[in-house]
Structure 1
Amino acid sequence: MAAGGGGDRGSPEAELRRGFKTLAVTRPDPSAAVYEVRLNRPTRLNALSPDAFAEIPRAMALLDRAPAARAVVLSAAGPHFCAGIELGSPGSPATAPSGDPAPAAAEGLRRAILEMQAALTAIERCRKPVVAAVHGACVGGGVEVVAACDIRCCSKDATFVLREVDMAIVADLGALQRLPRIVGYGNAADLALTGRKITAMEAKEMGLVTRVFNSKQELDAGVAKIAKEISEKSAWAVMGTKAVLLRSRDITVEQGLEHVATWNAAMLRSNDLEEAIQAFLEKRKPVFSKL
C-alpha cells in the first residue's frame, strides 16, 4: 500500500501502511482512533514464525507512537487464533540442540528465546491498551500472546491450551510469569503442568478472559465497541492507567500508591481533567486533547 503524501511520509501511520508479511494492520473505522492488528497466516493457523516475532514489536512500537491510535485490537484471520510457535523456528522444540549442547549453541538458543520474549513483551509495553479477540484454537505461544494483552475476550468456540509440557519443554515466552497474575497460581499450574485444553467458559471462570461472545461476528463487533469506548476517553488518563496497573502488578501496594501519586501529581494539571469536569456539568460528551 502507498506510504502517503509528503507531510505524512515517515510518520508512524505511514509506516504502518507499508504492510507486513505476517500481520494485517488496519484502521477499520476511520472515525475511531482504533487500529486492528490481525495475525494473518491463516493457512499456517497463524503459527508464530521468525517474521511474526520481528513484525509484532515493530507494529506495537509504531502504534505506541501513532497519534491516531488510542486503542488496539489484536485478532486473527482464518478459523483459529494461533497454533503456537511454528516448528522449525528458532527456539522451537524442532530446532533445540539435542544432547549436551556446546556453550555457544546454548547461548545462541538463549538469545533467540530472549528475542521472542521481547517481541511479546512489546504488546504489554505498548502504551495504548490492547484488547485480544480470540476465536478457535489458541495454543502455546498463542496463549502467551494474549497473556501480554490488557483485556482478553473470546468467542464461544475458543479453546486454550499450553502444550509445552507435552513437548518436553518449559513454556518460555511469558505464560508462566503472566498467567499466575491473571488467573492465580493454582489455575496457572493446572494449565501448565497438565497441558489440558480448556473451553471459553472455563477460561472466563478462571479470569483468563473477561467476556465470551456467541460467535466470531459478535466477538468482532463487541471488541470493536470496547476498543472504541476506550479510545474516546482521555488518552493521557488511559495510558496512565495502563502504566500504573502494570507497575503496581510487580511492586508492593505501598510502592504502587506512591507511584500513582507521582504520576497524578504531573498529569492532573492536564486540560483533559478540566474538560471532563466541564462536560459532566454541561451534560455533554467531553472533547479530549489530541496526543
Structure 2
Amino acid sequence: MHPQDYFELTIDAGGIAHLRLNRPERMNTMAPSFFPALRDAVRGLADAGQARVLVISSTGRHFSAGMALETFGGDGAMLDTSTPRARLNFQSSLRALMDCFTALDEARFPILCAIQGGCIGGALDLAAACDIRYASADAFFCVQETNVGMAADLGVLQRLQTIMPAGLARELAYTGERLPAERALACGLVNAVLPDADALLAHVLGVAAQIAAKSPLAVAGSKLALNHARDHGVAASLQQMSLLQSAIFDTAEMGVAITAWKAKAEPAFAPLGEVGKIS
C-alpha cells in the first residue's frame, strides 16, 4: 500500500503541516506498511525544514482502532518467535516499529494530535509520542493490547507514565479499560476537550498557527530541551541546555521578534531550512 492509502499530508504557506488519517471505513487501523509510511513522512518534513508544526488528525467516527487485527493472524517472519534466531530477528523488527513512533518524538517541530472517538491500542502509542494531545467530547483512550493477550510494545508503557500519573497509567495498562475524554483532561493526557470533531480541529489548528508564528529556532530548541529534561536529571539537563543555547542563541532572531512585538506586527522568521544529506 502507498502512504496516501493511510493518510493525506499537506503543508501550507505558513509552515503548518497536516497529516490526516483517511481510512474511516477501516476505523483508520494500522497495517504494517503504515508505520514506515508515517516515519518517512515525518522525517521527510523534518529534513525539508519548512514545517514549523505538524497536526495529526483523523476522519470518521474514530481516530484509530490501532493495529489491524489481521496483522496478528499472519504467519510472517515478523511474528515468528519459534527459535533463538527468530527471536533475535523479532527484536530487530520490533525496534524498527518502535522507531516509527520515535520519529514523532524526535521531530524538530512540535506535533499536535487531534483525537475524536476511539484512540485504541497502537493509536495511543502514536498519540503518546506527540507533543500535545487534544480530544473531542466523545473521545476515549484504551491500552487495547492487554485485552488481546499481549503487552503494549510501541512506546505507550514507556511514555504514558511521564504524561499522566503513573498509577493511572498502570491501571489502564493492567485493565485495558477505556479512559473517557473528561478524565483524560483531568489527568493531563489531553490539554483540552472540545464539543465535536469540527470544533476540535479548529482549536488544534488555532494552536498550530500560534506556534507557527514563533521563531522556529526557539521552538525547536525548546522541544530539544524539554525532551532531554524528561529523560535526564535536572543537573544533566542544565548542562545540556548550556551547550544547546550556545548553539542556537541568535540575536538577529531575537531582533525580529522584539521589533515585531514593539510594532504590534507579525514577525517574519525564516524556516529552519533543509538538513544536509550525505550522498
Q: Same fold (TM over 0.5)?
A: yes
Find the counterpart in structure 2 of residue 72 from structure 1.
54
Against the structure 1 CA distance between its residues 190 and 283, is the aligned structure 2 distance closer, same or farther, given a 3 Å change threshold?
A: same
Q: Residue 252 of structure 1 aligns to which amino acid in structure 2?
A: G
Secondary structure at the counterpart of residue 26 of structure 1: strand
2: CA distance, partners of 1:68 / 1:46: 27
2: CA distance, partners of 1:265 / 1:31: 30
Counting only pairs closer than 5 Å after superposition, residues 48-127 of structure 1 correspond to structure 2 as 48-89=30-71, 92=72, 101-127=82-108
1: CA distance, partners of 2:84 / 2:162: 34
TM-score by length of 1: 0.87
Find the counterpart in structure 1 of residue 275 from structure 2.
none
Name structure 1 gaps, 5 residues minimum: 1-17
Structure 1 residue 21 and structure 2 residue 2: aligned? no
Task: Verify the 8 A CA contact 1:19 1:25 in the aligned structure 2.
Answer: no
TM-aligned CA deviation for residue 171 of structure 1: 0.5
TM-score by length of 2: 0.91
Identity %: 33
Find the counterpart in structure 1 of residue 224 from structure 2.
243
Counting only pairs closer than 5 Å after superposition, residues 1-291 of structure 1 correspond to structure 2 as 20-27=4-11, 30-89=12-71, 92=72, 101-291=82-272
1: CA distance, partners of 2:182 / 2:260: 39
Find the counterpart in structure 2 of residue 7 from structure 1.
none
Name structure 2 gaps, 5 residues minimum: 273-279
2: CA distance, partners of 1:270 / 1:52: 42
Find the counterpart in structure 1 of residue 277 from structure 2.
none
TM-aligned CA deviation for residue 93 of structure 1: 6.8
1: CA distance, partners of 2:3 / 2:39: 14
Greater CA drift, 261-270 or 212-221: 261-270
TM-aligned CA deviation for residue 107 of structure 1: 2.4
Task: Verify the 8 A CA contact 1:22 1:51 in the aligned structure 2.
Answer: no
Q: Residue 196 of structure 2 aligns to which amino acid in structure 1?
A: S
1: CA distance, partners of 2:172 / 2:73: 19
1: CA distance, partners of 2:44 / 2:251: 25
CA deviation vs aligned residue, 1:118-151 (integer Å, no higher than 9, x gap) = 1111111111110000001110100000000001
TM-aligned CA deviation for residue 275 of structure 1: 1.6
2: CA distance, partners of 1:119 / 1:282: 43
Q: Residue 109 of structure 2 aligns to which amino acid in structure 1?
A: K
Flag the structure with more relative contact order, 1 or 2, with Cα contacts below 8 A and sequence separation at least 6.
Answer: 2
